[in-house]
Structure 1
Amino acid sequence: MTTIDRIMIERIDISAFGGVKNLTLIPSGGINIITAPNESGKSTVAAFIKFIFYGFGGQRRQALAENERSLYMPWDGSRAGGGITLSTPEGKFRIERYQSAAKETLDIYDAYTRKSVFTGLVPGEVFFGVGEETFSKVLFFRQLYQSKNGDDALAEQVQNIIFSADEKTNTERAVKRLKELRASLKNNQKRGMIPTLENELASYDEKLASSVSIKNELDTVLVSLGEKKQKIAFNRTKLDALEKEKENLRKYEAKQKLASLLSLARADKDAQARYEECVKQFSGENIPDTELVRSLINDNSELALAEKRVLELTDASSAEKSRLASIEGSDPFGGADTAKIKSSLKRRTALGYLFLALCVACIGGAAALYFTSGAGIPVFACAGGAALFAALFAIFVLGKPRDVKKYGFTAKAGLVKALDEQPL
């Protein structure tokens, strides 16, 4: 706020402090010297001034001589405190401080307006611009003070200024000491406490920059981590949906299998019913033998396989026939006698129908012998074999003739159509 040499303490009011009570002092201008016998309270007044500006020391010490609270709390148990009025270039102010066993109160206000100022601040730091430690080393010396930082010489010199009245000599010593201390802080070789602290500050700045860089990287990683967590949550939701869909498909497949089994069961039941109905249509020994029926079924299956094989062979030769047809051009028969081809087809067709009739006759005869005369299984089997042979031969004969492939056709119908389109 202002410099120390422009501050004047105008009034000191001690309500109770140590062994002093209800004492008022009004200093004069310049340096004031308090003279009184030993143990009359001179050091108590000095401690009171420090108390008003800084309060009791923050450190609690075991030794009574170093514990300000124990030394200066009133002996009768009342609260310690009082006030100081001081003038500055900025105005006149009043500082009042009181300390009880459990509570401290501090009030700084304008001496004219009584309006509180500097609320929450330390008076010594406001008016002197220094903290308690500096004040104790430079401006305040109590009888039991002992330096803890090797500043005994400076403390002695400043103390001489206050108590000896030899200002010139002691001031020169103090200035010299202050210059020495300033040199110890920073000299021309850039050595001392300040360069050391500056180097430490630069090191801390580098560490701070590194920490900021690491923090930025960490923020980036955290953002990436958040995005990955969102993706994981999304994929987990999608996975749950797929699991539910999989479960639904499994249930659907199980339902389909059950429906298929039920259908097979119904088909089996229907077949059993038809079988029983057929059994009812026969009586006595006229019921067909089960083995014979199974044999006929097997023969029919083989016949179906043979037909399928014939169709496969027919389809396989279609490409070759198409190629031959394209080579032969508009005359697929290459000048052959179409009349002979037609005659051959007619004979082949007639022969096929003949074998089909023979097949039907064999089956009918075998059935008639079996049901009318009670012929045995061998006779029925022979008739069935003959019928099967006749059927196979009829299929072969009625199938694709050799002329179909020979003249490049894929089917018998194409050959017949081409023959019909030939001029007479």
Structure 2
Amino acid sequence: MTPFAAMLVCFVLLVVLSFPLAFSLLLSCSLYLLMSGNSQTLLIQQLFSGLDIFTIMAIPFFMLAGDLMVASGTADRLLRFAQLLVGRLRGGTGYVNIVASMLFGGCSGSAIADIAALGRTQVSMMEKSGFTREFSAALTLATSIKGAIIPPSIPIVLVGAVSGTSIGGMLVGGLIPGLLVGMALAVAVYWTTRHNAIASGEPITRRQKLRIILESIPFLMMPVIILGGILSGVFTPTEASAAAVAWGIGLWLFEQKGRPDMGQLFRILLRSGTLSGAVLLLTGAANVFSWILATEQVPAQIALIVFSVTDEPVFILLIIMVFLLLWGAVMDMLPAIFIVIPVLMPLATEIGVDPVHFGVICTFNLVIGLITPPYGTALFTGSLVLNMPVEKIVRHIFPLFCAAVLVLLIITFVPETILFLPRLLDLL
């Protein structure tokens, strides 16, 4: 057995045995180096070279900023602001669900945080207005995927770090796809409510409107600080993530009314630090794995196989898109980013696809996998948070999944939906 084949067999066995993915990668790579006669020092060198990247610092900062925003009561304020914007429409609570998730995604950068913070309130609100509990849960899960594509998007930062693609360009490029998903889901809500007796929201007085707006402005500033800083050239994406943490701390202190709960702050730091450590270790391990793939010329071999089937860029993109949708359905998004992106990015650039364009469509492909069985992380998180069997949610999530796939097709074959803003702002 060749060293590369032994590495793959070892990796698959360790994953099947439920070893943590980072250690599965490192142990299998260590076996490759041992069998190929290379020094184990290479493992350490490649591990740290994968972490010695300035932009990777954005990952722990964005995670901490998201946790601070949740602890500051962001969810409640943004939900009330969304009700003010669209709550009076027929079936308005469905649109509130979409808008609130879009606004919260612009603060947390995480689909799971969206479900955990907003899920129960959104479903309860929709039920009271006449939506079924199952559709309400399905819409809540579907809207959460915008949190992983609208800036600040943690998955996009990871894709940029793994592939060496412009993180600022991809963050800005994810804005229009995120808005398109919201519009597609709004059409699904309209289609659901057009013949049903779904109530609109309660009227809001002028005084209440003013209070909601004033209370929401500080929390709505988070995405403005991040995007505004990047677009104006004041911040790099990494510096923007640090500024987001500073703003999040300020909001948390304001919420504490001058009496900060240091125990809560310690728990926030511990949680975000633990998650960041796990992600960074996985980043370093994936860099070792990617180095071995490049050494064995795996991307070139995959390109040869694909080009033997077709050399048309449109069909190659379709093949990649279907592959990523299937991959995202059986593997969590973060491992998929680390394993698949380094292999597929060279293939995409070879057929003339812009790296920023490809990075965003890959991210969106894998984000859709969050709501698809059998391994949709958002699907199972929603099932636990909402105390509802997965199979009941899945029945109603299919049309919403189709809406997301339609947006995926649009952004894949109309590159300007992603590249327009980065080109306009000279980020490419």
TM over 0.5: no
TM range (shorter): under 0.3
TM-score (norm 1): 0.19
TM-score (norm 2): 0.19
When Rg is computed on C-alpha atoms for both structures, the one with the higher figure is: 1
Question: Where is the strand percentage greater, Structure 1 or Structure 2?
Answer: 1
Greater share of residues in helix: 2
